[in-house]
Amino acid sequence: MSPAIFITAELIFVGLPFATVLYMAHRFFNVREKKLDVEARLVAEKAAQYAASNKELEQRVRVLEQIVTDSGVQTASQIEALRERSRITSKSVQES
């Protein structure tokens, strides 16, 4: 067997499968990287939603703290003012 035929045979029987495995591994890791990128974006979006929800809850707690620490007369008048505003708003919506 001549050296040229031997080298060609090695390239075909060893090099080609090796190159195929390398190509498949490269493709696999590219797909995996894209999948991780999508998951990271989803996690970031959920974190932003939780942050917004957290801010809303903090505002509610501040209002409750204010209600607890204020005198009863001021709190009652503020609650009545809010009720009147909601009645006016609901009437204007019903009339439209």
79 φ, ψ (degrees, to nearest 5): -65, -45
Q: What is the mean pLDDT of the chain?
A: 86
pLDDT of residue 41: 97
CA distance 54 to 70: 24
Amino acid at 41: R
The predicted-structure confidence for 57-92, as pLDDT tens digits, reads as follows 998 899 888 877 776 777 778 888 888 887 776 666
- 70: DSSP letter: S
pTM: 0.47
CA distance 33 to 12: 31
59, two tokens? 């505002």
